């Protein structure tokens, strides 16, 4: 709402031409020397030229019998808006948009594709008609059509549009209905925020010609047709995106399975494991199931999972004496002493994601060891660094799962056996089986809120 008491007159008429107060300031014409009259009532104006940078210069009526400042202000802004649109011969026409959540057809498609609109970055706004600048062939000011006199009638080729300038008064419902009845496109430009005189014209010109936020469509005759076309286009985009995604997933799955088969190597497994401390306790050299747990990100580790899981278990659980597992120690060992398993740089799309997934796989494996009672639940020191954590050794120097965790071990082992070797989402499969059989969440039971929870 415009505060009418704060309105000052920004323009005057001098020799029949509309002039801005800034032009009078440059000429240093004070008071009645400005030689201007009111654009509305045509009575004399006087100029108030401020020397204070924090205050604006403005016009005021010389006579108390003149019209109000609001009337003069509104007439002046209207006249300037009409003048500048005519001179520039171009205008930014606003976009027409609608929330997709309000369009049943697209909501149905979103449900059909399981939330595709959000998953693939589609905006929740459907652009029915984009905003765009239109060059104007002609501008007619206050020309009456039937019983309607719009502020401007602008033409571009054979296209005609009515333009209403709102300063302190906006189009009322009665006028809206009349405009719609004529069935011409109508936009309204809201200049109510420009409620005080500025010492330059640039901001006002921008508000009139260029500001996308202060204009809207009052009526657009082909709205239904444009809306139908926009919905059809977005529907095709969604379907094409889904098809592309299916193709990409298929390529990833094929590559994932090929990589798993490449990494699986029985000869290398026993060459490496026979050097470990835990090897002498293996009955018939048979690995326990928890040294061969499928994990989604294992393809980012460049060796058979039995090798890296055995190494992690042997080095940081089975053969440890200090009772702690610290991220920085694991990381230091991996970067400085480990030459058996490394990051599989060729599988990832970039080095950053490859390195992250390498550590993600190791941390997920340690969660399984926590689930089986070999180590405590994991205390995450930093939520920003996925792998930064501490844990405690609960059960070392033995390859046997404690009795209190035998049920968990049986369920985990069963889930692994039931799973196909090339399952591309083993984590989800295993977690679902654990939740179904034990009614627990794997992440919750392997997460500690504080090291004080580390009591066996």
SS3 248: helix
**Does any domain span residue 138?**
yes
Closest CA to 383 of 447, 309, 299: 447
Are 325 and 412 found together in one domain? yes
304, 446: one domain: yes
Exposure string over 80-113, b if 16+ CB within 10 A, otherwise e: bbbbbbeeeeebbbbbbebebeebeebeebbeeb
Count the neighbouring beta carbons within 10 Å of the beta carbon of residue 268. Answer: 15
Do residues 363 and 309 lie in contact, with contact meaning Cβ atoms separated by under 8 Å?
Answer: no
Alpha carbon distance 315, 306 (integer Å): 14
Regarding whether 39 and 112 lie in a shared domain, the answer is: no
Q: Are both 98 and 224 inside the same structural domain?
A: yes
Of 387, 385, 386, 366, nearest in space to 377 by CA: 366
Q: Check: CB of residue 62 under 8 Å from CB of residue 32.
A: yes
CA atoms within 13 A on the CB side of 402: 14
The pLDDT value recorded for residue 118 is 52
Q: Strands 90-93 and 132-135: what pairing?
A: antiparallel
Cα gap 73→197, rounded to integer Å: 9
Structural domain includes residue 252: no
Structure-token match 């480990």, residue found: 338
Residues 320 and 432 in one domain: yes
Do 228 and 315 share a domain, yes or no? no
- Around Cβ 115, how many Cβ atoms within 10 Å? 9
Angle formed by the axes of helices 69-88 and 202-209, nearest 10°: 70
Domain that holds residue 22: 4-72
> Is 42 inside a domain boundary?
yes
Could you tell me if residue 368 is inside a domain?
Answer: yes
In a domain, 411, yes or no: yes
Distance in angstroms (rounded) separating the CA atoms of residues 312 and 292: 12
CA distance 271 to 326: 28
- Does a structural domain hold residue 163? yes
Q: Are 401 and 373 in contact (CB under 8 A)?
A: yes
Residues forming a β-bridge with 148: 145
Q: State whether residue 417 is helix, strand or coil.
A: helix
Residues 58 and 196 in one domain: no
Are residues 55 and 153 located together in one domain of the fold?
A: no
| Final residue of a structural domain among 215, 234, 253 | 234
Residue 197 and residue 304 share a domain: no
CA 103 to chain centre: 21
State the burial class of residue 152 (Cβ atoms within 10 Å of its Cβ: 0-12, 13-18, 19+).
Answer: buried
| Residue 331: φ, ψ to 5° | -60, -45
Task: Kindly state whether residue 253 falls inside one of the protein's structural domains.
Answer: no
The size of the chain, in residues, is 456
Task: Quote the CA–CA distance of 117 and 110 in Å, as a whole number.
Answer: 6
58 plus 110 within the same structural domain: no
What secondary structure letter does DSSP report for 214? G
Q: CA–CA separation, 188 vs 166, rounded Å?
A: 7
- The string of DSSP codes covering 56-69 is --EEEESSTTS--H
How far apart, in Å, are the Cα atoms of 297 and each of 247, 294, 429, 452? 21, 9, 14, 31
pLDDT number for residue 1: 42
Q: Of 72, 99, 122, at which residue does a domain stop?
A: 72
Which of 363, 405, 390 lies closest to 454, judged by CA? 390
The answer to whether the CB of 157 falls within 8 A of the CB of 144 is no
> Do 52 and 184 lie in a common domain?
no
**Residue in this structure with the two tokens 């000869």, named with its chain if needed:** 267
Q: Report DSSP state, residue 289.
A: G
Residues 426 and 284 in one domain: yes
- The pairing of beta strand 378-380 with beta strand 389-392: antiparallel
**259 in a domain, yes or no?**
no
d(CA 56, CA 203): 14
Total domains in the fold of the chain: 3
Residue 388 is encoded by which pair of tokens? 């930064």
Look up residue 376 and give its DSSP letter: P
How far apart are alpha carbons 186 and 250 in whole angstroms?
50
Last residue of a domain, one of 72, 93, 120: 72
**What are the strands, taking DSSP E only, across 356-413?**
378-380, 389-392
- Please give the chain's pLDDT, 456 residues, in tens: 445 556 789 899 999 999 999 899 999 999 999 999 999 999 999 999 988 765 788 999 988 888 998 899 989 989 999 999 999 999 999 999 988 778 887 777 766 665 555 554 566 788 899 999 999 999 988 788 888 888 899 999 989 999 999 988 888 888 888 888 889 999 999 988 776 555 568 888 999 999 999 999 999 998 989 999 988 888 888 788 778 878 888 888 999 999 999 999 999 999 999 999 999 888 887 899 999 999 999 999 999 999 999 999 999 999 887 788 888 889 899 999 999 999 999 898 788 889 999 999 999 999 999 999 999 999 988 665 556 788 999 988 889 999 999 999 999 999 999 987 777 899 999 999 999 999 999 999 999 988 777 766
d(CA 170, CA 147): 18
DSSP reduced 3-state for 344: coil
């Amino acid at each position: 709402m415009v505060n009418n008491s704060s309105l000052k007159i920004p323009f005057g008429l001098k020799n029949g031409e509309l002039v801005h107060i800034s032009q009078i300031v440059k000429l240093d014409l004070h008071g009645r020397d400005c030689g201007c009259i009111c654009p509305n009532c045509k009575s004399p104006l006087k100029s108030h030229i401020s020397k204070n940078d924090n205050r604006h210069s403005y016009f005021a009526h010389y006579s108390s019998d003149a019209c109000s400042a609001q009337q003069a202000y509104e007439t002046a802004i209207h006249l300037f808006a009409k003048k500048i649109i005519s001179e520039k011969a171009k205008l930014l026409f606003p976009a027409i948009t609608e929330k997709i959540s309000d369009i049943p057809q697209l909501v149905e498609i979103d449900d059909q594709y399981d939330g595709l609109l959000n998953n693939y970055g589609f905006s929740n706004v459907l652009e029915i008609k984009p905003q765009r600048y239109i060059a104007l062939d002609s501008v007619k000011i206050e020309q009456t059509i039937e019983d309607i006199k719009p502020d401007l009638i602008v033409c571009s080729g054979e296209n005609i549009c009515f333009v209403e300038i709102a300063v302190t008064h906006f189009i009322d419902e009665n006028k809206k209905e009349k405009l719609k009845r004529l069935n011409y496109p109508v936009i309204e430009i809201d200049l109510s925020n420009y409620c005080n005189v500025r010492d330059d014209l640039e901001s006002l010109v921008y508000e009139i010609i260029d500001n996308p936020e202060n204009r809207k469509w009052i009526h657009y005759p082909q709205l239904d047709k444009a809306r139908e076309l926009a919905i059809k286009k977005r529907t095709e985009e969604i379907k094409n995106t889904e098809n592309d995604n299916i193709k990409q997933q298929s390529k990833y799955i094929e590559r994932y399975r090929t990589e798993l088969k490449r990494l699986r190597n029985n000869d290398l497994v026993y060459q490496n494991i026979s050097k470990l401390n835990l090897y002498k306790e293996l009955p018939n050299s048979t690995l326990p199931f928890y040294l061969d747990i499928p994990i989604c990100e294992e393809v980012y580790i460049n060796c058979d999972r039995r090798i890296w899981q055995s190494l992690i278990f042997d080095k940081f659980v089975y053969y440890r004496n200090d009772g702690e597992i610290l991220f920085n120690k694991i990381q230091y060992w991996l970067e400085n002493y480990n030459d058996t398993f490394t990051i599989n740089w060729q599988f990832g799309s970039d080095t950053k994601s490859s390195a992250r997934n390498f550590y993600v796989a190791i941390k997920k494996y340690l969660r399984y060891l926590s689930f089986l009672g070999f180590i405590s639940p994991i205390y995450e020191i930093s939520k920003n660094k996925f792998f930064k954590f501490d844990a405690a050794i609960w059960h070392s120097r033995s390859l046997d799962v404690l009795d209190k965790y035998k049920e968990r071990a049986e369920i985990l082992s069963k889930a692994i056996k039931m799973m196909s070797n090339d399952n591309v989402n083993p984590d989800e499969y295993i977690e679902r089986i654990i939740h179904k059989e034990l009614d627990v969440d794997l992440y919750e039971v392997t997460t500690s809120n504080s090291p004080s929870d580390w009591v066996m």
